[in-house]
């Protein structure tokens, strides 16, 4: 996982269709989309996933489903993102198969240690900074926490929580392989430009750092 990772939130799209925001972000060069629906019915969640799938597939961008293995399987998504209150990794891997992308949020150091032996595609370092988008998470890792995980973990790290073009550079410097954003794209006045700025920021940071 490498680049800008869009996590969707329909409620933060300012009334605009999620599909159009995702399409803008895809045009701007993001690396991955995680579809997150915390209140939608299964039917609506599935329909949203089915609508996004061809757009992302034709752009070669993986579609990751938040939490719901059933939605991922029914929509032919590329993977699932698991939080610590979601299905355990082993059960999800068994259902999703060996080729699926499985990401895992880590909120405590114990989570980071436990993930070391799991065949996850990435760890979601959550949250790096305090954010109003997610209210059910632990205290923020901060840049120090992110750097500490980077030093310890064998996994790719996707940083999430309060991230935007203004702080992406320091996040990458602290060890993030990908920068996940929600409102920085979903709530942007111009989602395409916002996504493009993030992508440029990511690309220039990694060019200079590596």
Q: Does 76 bind a copy of itself (CB under 8 A)?
A: no
Q: Does 36 bind a copy of itself (CB under 8 A)?
A: no
- Name which position in 23, 55, 59, 74 contacts a copy of itself (CB under 8 A): 74
Q: Binding pattern to a copy of itself, positions 92-121, x when CB under 8 A?
A: x-xx--------------------------
d(CA 186, CA 8): 7
- In the block, tokens 């609506």 appear at 44
Question: For residues 21 and 50, is the Cβ–Cβ distance under 8 A?
Answer: no
Binding span for a copy of itself by CB under 8 A among 39-47, 52-60, 109-117, 202-210:
39-47
80 annotated to bind ligand: no
- Name which position in 57, 59, 73, 118 contacts a copy of itself (CB under 8 A): 73
Cβ at position 76, least distance to a copy of itself in Å: 11
169 assigned to active site: no
Question: For residues 157 and 150, is the Cβ–Cβ distance under 8 A?
Answer: yes
Q: Does 88 bind a copy of itself (CB under 8 A)?
A: yes
Cβ at position 176, least distance to a copy of itself in Å: 26
105 annotated to bind ligand: yes
Listed in sequence order, the residues at least 6 apart from 75 whose beta carbon sits closer than 8 Å to its beta carbon are: 46, 49, 50, 53, 63, 65
Q: Does 81 bind a copy of itself (CB under 8 A)?
A: no
98 assigned to active site: no
Assess whether the previous peptide bond of 127 is cis (omega < 30° from 0): yes
36 assigned to active site: yes
- Name which position in 39, 41, 58, 99 contacts a copy of itself (CB under 8 A): 41
User: Binding site: residue ranges?
Assistant: 34-38, 66-67, 86, 105, 131-134, 162, 182-183
Task: Using CB under 8 A, list all residues that contact a copy of itself.
Answer: 41-44, 46, 67-71, 73-74, 84-88, 91-92, 94-95
């Amino acid at each position: 996982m490498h680049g800008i990772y869009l996590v969707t939130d329909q409620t933060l799209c300012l009334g605009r269709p999620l599909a159009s925001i995702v399409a803008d972000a895809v045009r701007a060069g993001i690396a991955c989309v995680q579809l997150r629906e915390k209140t939608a019915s299964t039917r609506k969640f599935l329909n949203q996933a089915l609508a996004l799938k061809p757009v992302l597939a034709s752009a070669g961008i993986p579609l990751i489903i938040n939490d719901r293995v059933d939605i991922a399987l029914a929509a032919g998504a590329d993977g699932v993102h698991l939080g610590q209150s979601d299905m355990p990794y082993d059960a999800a891997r068994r259902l999703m198969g060996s080729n699926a992308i499985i990401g895992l949020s880590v909120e405590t150091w114990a989570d980071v240690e436990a993930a070391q032996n799991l065949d996850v595609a990435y760890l979601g370092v959550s949250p790096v900074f305090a954010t109003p988008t997610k209210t059910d998470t632990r205290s923020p890792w901060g840049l120090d926490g992110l750097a500490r995980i980077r030093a310890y973990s064998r996994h790719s790290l996707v940083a999430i929580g309060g991230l935007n073009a203004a702080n992406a550079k320091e996040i990458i410097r602290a060890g993030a392989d990908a920068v996940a954003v929600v409102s920085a794209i979903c709530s942007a006045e111009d989602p395409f430009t916002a996504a493009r700025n993030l992508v440029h920021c990511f690309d220039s940071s990694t060019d200079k750092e590596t």
